[in-house]
Amino acid sequence: MQHCKGPDVNQLLLFPTGIFKTEYCGQLPILIFPTSGIVDAKSSVVIKVDFCADYPRIVDEEAIVILQGQPEMLLSIKAHVVEQIIELLNMSRDRRLEYIHFGPVFFGSSKIQHARIHNNSPEPINWVAIIQDDAMGEEMGTDTRQRTDIALNNLTYIRKIKNIDTTTIISCLPNEGTLQPYQKTVITFCFTPKLMADGKKDIGPSYRQDYALFLRFESVGSKDGFLRDDDYKTIKSERFQKMELALTGTGLPVLLQFDPGPVLNFEPCFMGERSEIQCIIKNQCELLPLTYHFEKTANFKIDPEKGEINEGGMVDVMCSFVPHQLGVFKVKQKIEIIGLVAEEDLQSLSIKPFHHVYLNFNSICKASTKKVVMKFDAGMLPLIRNPMGNFVVKDLAKRKNYAPVAMLQSATPRTHSHHSCEEPVKDVLLAFPNDRAATIRSKDRDKHFR
């Protein structure tokens, strides 16, 4: 758009009493209002002079003012019309920018590009950015590689695309403002493709949605005084400068292939043991790498639990079932796909999950049972053998914890001496821990035990 600066409003003070008349006979778009009237004695009338700047030039015109009883006077109208130039420059070399190519981006993630808007003129500019949703060559979520007849075959999908708000996919911030003479301001373009599923197509490795939108930057000027004249409106709309920017990008789905499959059936095992399955994860996208992260799940372990898969690449993951409790396990293992996502202000990015995939883990933790083998132990052998032994566990000798009653705590034990400190007792036997349970009495009443 072009905007030309000049003396928009001039005021004439007419002091003589009587009738006045103004007349401009030039070819420029100049309006004088009112063109005639009456001036009361000792009063004044304001005359408004409007000039529509159609292109850069120097204006030096005259208008005739006729006063009652006075000779004609000339009103000088001068202006220096300059062109308002809005430019978009790249961030590195200040070269003029005509298009921005975002490239391939996963659905749900975002990509940001920056540019500088430049007022290359000596006057301030009010500007606004407008997305053209009816421009020639616009593409909105269609695969540009397919034939035209195939694309037009699905009219329902095309109508669905037309109803989508384009600002949710491509945004420009700020989208309006004021630039001082020769000022440059950084603006941000954010591309966030959204998956618009086509019911007639399977989302496979070749699925994609291409976008081509146009953004128009215009300077905003005053139209006051020229909306009443059709000729001036035509000049106003056609002569103002405007600049167009093309924005292109491609949305791709996140597609992962699992081998042996999305359902992993682990071998049943006992508590404390583990069952393992090696899983191969393939990134079916040939254009973008992706970063994955396995969410922590009880009784299951993943190694490695996070990593990156190259374009069309594969990674080996060891999935382990390590039960800590008994039961049947049917678990959905969540896999997060991590990438750059736009913040609420749409001017910055942060790394966070934007897509989720699930694996199904199934297994059983069984209770362990152990067969106890008993053997006969004759017991301890004192000077006089006791008549009773005991059945004990076969591998008791392997255990470290023994019954404390079988331990002698005295450094100089005299338990087996069978002698009393005071008086010797004859025919007295000693009862040992492996004798008959719950008693130290003998079935023979003639024998003495202590």
pLDDT tens per residue across all 450 residues of the chain: 334 444 444 444 444 468 889 989 888 888 888 888 888 888 888 889 988 877 788 889 999 988 887 888 888 999 888 777 888 998 887 888 989 999 999 999 999 999 999 998 888 889 999 888 777 767 777 777 766 655 566 656 666 666 777 888 889 999 899 999 999 999 999 999 988 776 556 788 888 888 888 998 888 765 544 444 444 444 444 444 678 899 999 999 999 999 998 999 999 999 888 899 999 999 999 999 999 999 999 999 999 999 999 999 999 999 999 999 889 999 999 999 999 999 988 888 999 999 999 999 999 998 877 666 666 555 554 544 444 555 555 554 555 554 444 444 445 555 555 554 455 555 666 665 555 555 555 666 676 666
**Same CATH fold assignment for domains 86-252 and 256-366:** yes
Place of tokens 């990593």: 307
Range 159-168 contact pairs with CB under 8 angstroms and sequence separation of 24 or more? 160/196, 161/196, 164/140, 164/194, 164/196, 166/131, 166/133, 166/140, 166/213, 167/131, 168/192, 168/194
SS3 state of residue 248: strand
Fold designation for 256-366 = Immunoglobulin-like (2.60.40)
Domains of the chain, by residue range, sit at 18-81, 86-252, 256-366, 371-450
Whether residue 151 contacts residue 142, with contact meaning beta carbons closer than 8 Å, is answered with yes
Contact assessment for residue 170 and residue 211, using Cβ atoms and an 8 Å cutoff: yes
CATH topology of domain 86-252: Immunoglobulin-like (2.60.40)
Phi-psi region of 108 (alpha: psi -120 to 50; beta: other; left: phi over 0): left
Place of tokens 């030309």: 4
Q: Hey, how many other C-beta atoms are within 10 angstroms of the C-beta on 208?
A: 20
What are the CA-CA distances from residue 320 to residues 214, 266, 270, 303, 317 (Å)?
Answer: 52, 8, 13, 8, 10
* Cα distance between residue 253 and residue 206, in whole Å: 9
Residue with tokens 């080996």: 316
